[in-house]
Chain A
Amino acid sequence: MNATFYTRREWIALAVLAALILIVFPATMDVFRLNLVGKYLTYAFVAAGLVLCWGHGGILSLGQGIFFGLGGYCMAMFLKLEASSPENTAIQSTPGIPDFMDWNQVTELPFWWIPFKSFPFTLAAVVLVPVIFAYIIGAAMFKRRVGGVYFAIITQAIAAILTILIIGQQGYTGGVNGITDLRTLLGWDIRTDSAKFILYFVNAALLIVVLLLGQAVRVSKFGRLLIAMRDKEDRVRFSGYSVADFKIFIFCLAAAFSAIGGAMFTLQVGFMSPSFVGIVPSIEMVIFAAVGGRLSLFGAVYGALIVNWAKTSFSESFPELWLFAMGGLFIAVVMAFPNGLAGLFRSHVEPLLAKLTRKSPSPPAPDATPAEAVKLAAE
């Protein structure tokens, strides 16, 4: 007798999601759109982390962009070094270093860039650098019981500091432009359509893995403890748990998710810039989670997809109305449906489905569910 990893409903939801992003999207979209969806899905990593950390754990971080950015920068550093071979950069005064360093009279690769010549190191750093950073922040704050609003504001300030630092140290970081013009990964040109296609699948598969991981945490005793902590932190503490350790862990986990998203972003989009580290994207990522449903991992994916899809198409036609729509969405999601799409789905669509299933013995076509969800959001 084990805690069930997934209920049947969740298995269906996972299957539907996997079918959607692994089969339906690639089958129906051209590479350009698919690449866009791939970009949106990288935000879903962040949103999934936020579902765990904010929805379940009650820890609202307004600095998830930090981790997304750090992960992305780690990957970008590796790609940039590869793109800056002495042959490619022969016109520079110092060939062999990234172009922006050369523009800033940096004549030698800074020591902390050197390890990023190694791909295994980079892969490790993508996850570890943000996690260590998250650990430091988390340990300092949670051990001292900083929580709620204070935590949100401090993470926001850290995001602001990091942005200023990255922009200010442009000789080492590429400054406000970010690290651009990334070309190959271990000799494989990531700019081609076929590469984008493959990267999309890598990204989608990683997302599924992350969701499975997240789900594993969610259904474990850890997951129940998170909810317990959110409701009655003291009770958990006096049941013999070190609340700080749990918070640090979930914060680090969310950071790791974000970082993977960031690295995949860099690979798919071809650059990384400090505009991801700042406050605005960090808050936007919270809204992805909120729209999807702050308690639902799958909802987070739909949230990221739908908000971004809406942003893209809405801003193509009515760029000026987009901010009204986005602002309205924030307010509506908070005031009218705090459990987001997942909540709406549960309260409106599922009873409907249940009715349908009762009428006809055969189960409904699985892809009816997300389609409903999408329709629901589009309305």
Chain B
Amino acid sequence: MIGDYTLVEFSSILAMQGFAGLILFSVFVLMALGLAIIFGQMGVINMAHGEFMILGAYVTWLCSHFVTAYVPALFPVYFFVAMALAFLVSGALGMLVEWAMIRHLYKRPLDTLLATWGLSLILQQLYRSVFGAREVGVSLPDWMMGSIALTDIIEVPINGIFVMVLTMLISLGVFILMFRSAWGRRVRAVVQNRAMAGAVGINTKKVDRVTFGLGCGVAGVAGSAFTMIGSTGPTAGQLYIVDTFLVVVFGGAASLIGTIASAFTISQAQSTMEFFMSGSMAKVLTLLTVVGILMLRPEGLFTLKMRR
């Protein structure tokens, strides 16, 4: 492959490819973080995760329309408001769903899978009825869509940087929330011993609801961010679901660090392979490798060996 190119070209491309991998990594983390919170901390399998993401995307779309129509001056920065709204809307829907459905199913994790699949069907049709069957185009401020040319060949997409920064901020936020705040301690207490946590006065129901809402909210933000790089349509959420679950499971479900590490591994593997072979084969090989490793090491990459 090197033969035809100059060293400069080749190394530039390597750098770009590395960057592409990093973007993919950020995308995976964004996708998986919400799920990791819900699945890892609560053991609930939320098959409607993709639909919560798309809800965030639709919220962003509505915002862009609203802003263009009423306050065009704010267009360059509307995206930040949209993300916050996406978080709130998805989070609120998440809490509603937790209250109406999930809380009755904590003892039956496999059944949450079926119920949330049903939910995803309903949400898809809801989006279709409300927003139409066609995809919607979210218009973005110009400053978000360009790229920065570092050298002649190396160009860094701004939305890529945006996604990366956002991912870092959200991950950081989640970490602080989960590991440094009083609330996070409560969540972890509930995860480890529900009965005991209840006995020492933690409102476990509230913790559950807020945790679920948080996970869905993060999904909403992810969806909002993905309007920069992906499509927004009623069924677009389904595109993400397999990848997302694999990232979480591969990371070792109970570990947020694991999720991030696994997102890194999978994204780097995929983008490296994509460079050397056709996209389809790269995808198959990546998934196969992940499944293969999971078969050898079912507990995922990062799980503590536990005393039973």
Contact = CB atoms under 8 A, between A and B. Distances in A.
A324 to B, nearest CB: 5
Interface residues of B, number: 43
Given A146-B295, A149-B109, A335-B101, A286 B122 contact: no
Interface stretch (B73-81, B166-174, B201-209, B282-290): B282-290
A373 B283 CA distance: 45
A152 interface: yes
B114 interface: yes
Contact of A157 (B111, B123, B290): B290
B115 A331 contact: yes
Nearest to B44: A149
A186 interface: no
Interface string B22-57: 000000000000000001000101000000000000
Nearest to B126: A324
Nearest to A141: B295
B246 A157 contact: yes
B287 A323 contact: no
Contact of B117 (A153, A164, A283): A283
Interface in A323-349: 323-324, 326-331, 333-335, 338
Nearest to B123: A327
Nearest to B291: A157
A279 interface: yes
Interface in B285-301: 287-288, 290-291, 294-296, 298
A62 B114 CA distance: 10
Contacts of B290: 157
A279 B119 contact: no
A342 B96 CA distance: 31
- Interface range on chain A (Cβ under 8 Å from partner): 35 or more
A141 B299 CA distance: 11
A145 to B, nearest CB: 7
A330 B284 contact: no
Contacts, number: 117
Interface string B260-287: 0000000000000000000011011001
B128 interface: yes
Interface string A152-168: 11101110110011011
A334 B102 CA distance: 11
B245 interface: yes
B118 interface: yes
A112 B173 CA distance: 53
A60 interface: yes
B64 interface: no
A323 B246 contact: no
Interface in A276-299: 279, 283, 286-287, 290
A144 interface: yes
B158 interface: no
Nearest to B129: A320
Interface in B214-267: 241-242, 245-246, 249, 253
B71 interface: no
A256 B280 CA distance: 29
B113 A152 contact: yes
A157 B122 contact: no
Contacts of B119: 327, 330-331
A330 B287 contact: no
B118 A334 contact: yes
Contacts of B125: 320-321, 323-324, 327
A286 B114 contact: yes
Nearest to A140: B295
Interface string B116-138: 01111111111011000000000
Contacts of B117: 283, 330
Interface of A: 60, 62, 140-141, 144-146, 148-150, 152-154, 156-158, 160-161, 164-165, 167-168, 279, 283, 286-287, 290, 320-321, 323-324, 326-331, 333-335, 338
Give me the 7 closest cross-chain CB pairs, A-B, nearest first. Answer: A330-B118, A327-B121, A327-B122, A323-B125, A146-B298, A168-B280, A140-B295
Interface of B: 39, 43, 45, 101, 104-105, 108-111, 113-115, 117-126, 128-129, 241-242, 245-246, 249, 253, 280-281, 283-284, 287-288, 290-291, 294-296, 298
